[in-house]
A and B are shown apart, each in its own frame.
Chain A
Amino acid sequence: MSGMRVVPEESQKFVISVRQLAKLFADQQGRPVRVLDDITFDVYPGETLVVMGGSGCGKSTLLNCLIGELRPEEGGIFYQTRVMPQPINILDAREEQLNEVRKRFGILFQSGALFNSMTVAENIALPLKEHSYVDPSIIDIVVTLKLQQVHMLPHRDKMPAQLSGGQKKRAGLARATALDPEILFYDEPSAGLDPVTSAAIDELIIDLSKKLSVTSVVVTHEMDSAFRIADRMVMLDRGRVLRIGPRGEFERIRDTAPERLADEDERLIHQFLNGKTEGPLTDAAGMSEYEKWIVTG
């Protein structure tokens, strides 16, 4: 963390607290560009928070910062879990501390990111083998349970190359839950799936949230999926938080005529949620400028 020290309010019970986060990348001329700017929000225990926004708005960058894959230049990311009741800022943490935080969360990657040289069962057993000293027979039982949870037991001995897109995501989800995490991150869980499989994955996310009492952070731009699974939603636009609120608030904006909405931000969210080509999202800078933003970031 650099510059001014930012800390979450002590009275709030959060699982993740993001404070004034800024991430800079260099453009083609080597000049710094703020891909994330002044991002602040909290994620509370047991909720499902959906992060949404157009292509290039910084969703994936934010997720990479949250999981410790990218190091932001400014701000703080605090984790407070059941086994780590004192908030830990992962930007100040040593590698060992960061790994302890990582053991408390699981991630479903967009492609599943299964280890291609291992079977489905070996993929799920890997975190257990590496982070515990339990007997292989116990690991086998846990693997069976995790596969049952995602309805993948018949495929336990298959290699990832033999699975369909939906099956890869299910297996990835089973691996993400292998260490009984308190937090689950989902990176575009419905991307590249047909509507039925996509709905099934959404059901699975809701089911796992309930059964395992996990806190979920889902990054997506699939609106149907977002409204199915979200408790709260965050809308990002050009690296900034445009709006954060309960699902109902976003449903109201989606279903209200643009001329009746309070401000430009709401009209922009309305345009995005309804997938319209005309509106402030494209009008403000002109379509060509918007396209340029998407392409160049």
Chain B
Amino acid sequence: MSDAAPPSRTGRLTAAVTAFGQMGYNARHRFVRDVRYLGGVGYLVGDTLAWVVRALVFRRVKLGASALASQMVRVGVRSIPIVVLIQVFIGIILALQLAPTLEDYGSLEKVADIIGLAMFRELGPLLSAVVLSGFAGASIAAEIGAMVESEEIKALRAHALNPIRFLVVPRLLATVIMMVGLTVVADVVGVLGGLLTSWLVLDIHPWSYLDNTQVALFYRDFFTGLVKGGVFGVLIAAIACYEGLNVTGGAEGVGRATTSTVVKSIVALIATDCVFTAVFFIFKL
């Protein structure tokens, strides 16, 4: 049993005020850190777009077509199989989950409408982006982080080569282009997953399924999905490049940047998707 006297009322009050002050200080510190992070990512995107504009206006500014092509293969082409696999599963899951409820209302054929809308407006771009953040985002952060650690970024600057133009521009452009492409693939494959399930399990004829999908969808559903895909691509690449360029602390730092890229990308994707959905809802898009 301790002999220490219980803290006095003044002591407890002091401790409470100190704890409250510390909480406020920590909250301010976190807020400043987060604002700085958002500012850093925003600045990186701005600088990248400025380089793209400069390259389009001035011919002497090189963007590197071969670097862009190789990044497109790495970011997009290699992630097609996993996106296809996931979207087929999502199509199947949606069809099977929706079927009992729709059957109760005597509207089983509406399964095609719902799957089409969900895929084109939401799940196609969002799930492809989540896959890409783990597949390409983490890889970009690790690669650039390793380059920072091995002085390659320093070497680029020393050779009067801007790391943003040389590394970030091709990765960001490739991610945006391939994200838009993957969204189209995801939309189609997701609908096909639903179609197969509806045909083989729910006994809905494929032509009827496709007819219903066609009637339910408008061009705006397709294009809003593509816009989302493009913006998600910017987010994934910008966060990955920013995390990579700010790596410190050797191999451990590279590992931290990789994890942080995936976590922050997914949070940013879902938050942005929420904003998009609200805006599209307000403007009836």
State whether the Cβ of A290 lies closer than 8 Å to any Cβ in chain B: no
Question: Would A69 and B154 be within 8 Å (CB), given that A127-B159, A130-B159 are in contact?
Answer: yes
Closest to A133 in B: B60
- Interface residue count for A (Cβ, 8 Å)? 23
Looking at the complex, which one of B155, B157, B160 makes contact with A115 (CB distance below 8 Å)? B155
| C-alpha spacing A105/B172, complex, angstroms | 30
Residues of B close to A109: CB separation below 8 A: 151, 154-155
State whether the Cβ of A99 lies closer than 8 Å to any Cβ in chain B: yes
Would A102 and B150 count as touching, CB distance under 8 A? no
Looking at the complex, which one of B62, B152, B154, B160 makes contact with A99 (CB distance below 8 Å)? B160
Would B155 and A113 count as touching, CB distance under 8 A? yes
State whether the Cβ of B5 lies closer than 8 Å to any Cβ in chain A: no
How many chain B residues sit at the interface, stated as a range, is 10 to 19
Would A111 and B151 count as touching, CB distance under 8 A? yes
Residues of B close to A105: CB separation below 8 A: 158
Closest to A98 in B: B160
Would A102 and B158 count as touching, CB distance under 8 A? yes
Would B158 and A110 count as touching, CB distance under 8 A? no
Per-residue contact bits, chain B 137-181, to A (CB 8 Å; 1 contact, 0 not): 000000000110011101101111100000000000000000000
State whether the Cβ of A103 lies closer than 8 Å to any Cβ in chain B: yes
| C-alpha spacing A28/B150, complex, angstroms | 25
Residues of A close to B154: CB separation below 8 A: 69, 109, 113
Would A130 and B161 count as touching, CB distance under 8 A? yes
Residues of B close to A131: CB separation below 8 A: 160
A-B contact count (CB 8 A): 47
Closest to B154 in A: A69
State whether the Cβ of A242 lies closer than 8 Å to any Cβ in chain B: no
| C-alpha spacing A87/B86, complex, angstroms | 61
Closest to A187 in B: B151
Would A113 and B152 count as touching, CB distance under 8 A? yes
| C-alpha spacing A105/B159, complex, angstroms | 8
Would B152 and A69 count as touching, CB distance under 8 A? no
| C-alpha spacing A105/B146, complex, angstroms | 25
| C-alpha spacing A83/B159, complex, angstroms | 17
Per-residue contact bits, chain A 37-79, to B (CB 8 Å; 1 contact, 0 not): 0000000000000000000000000000001110000000000
**Chain A residues in contact with chain B, CB under 8 A?**
67-69, 99-100, 102-103, 105-107, 109-111, 113-116, 126-127, 130-131, 175, 179
A-B contacts besides A67-B158, A106-B158, A111-B150, 17 pairs, CB < 8 Å: A68-B157, A69-B154, A69-B158, A102-B158, A109-B151, A109-B154, A109-B155, A110-B151, A113-B154, A115-B152, A116-B147, A116-B150, A116-B152, A126-B159, A127-B161, A130-B161, A175-B159
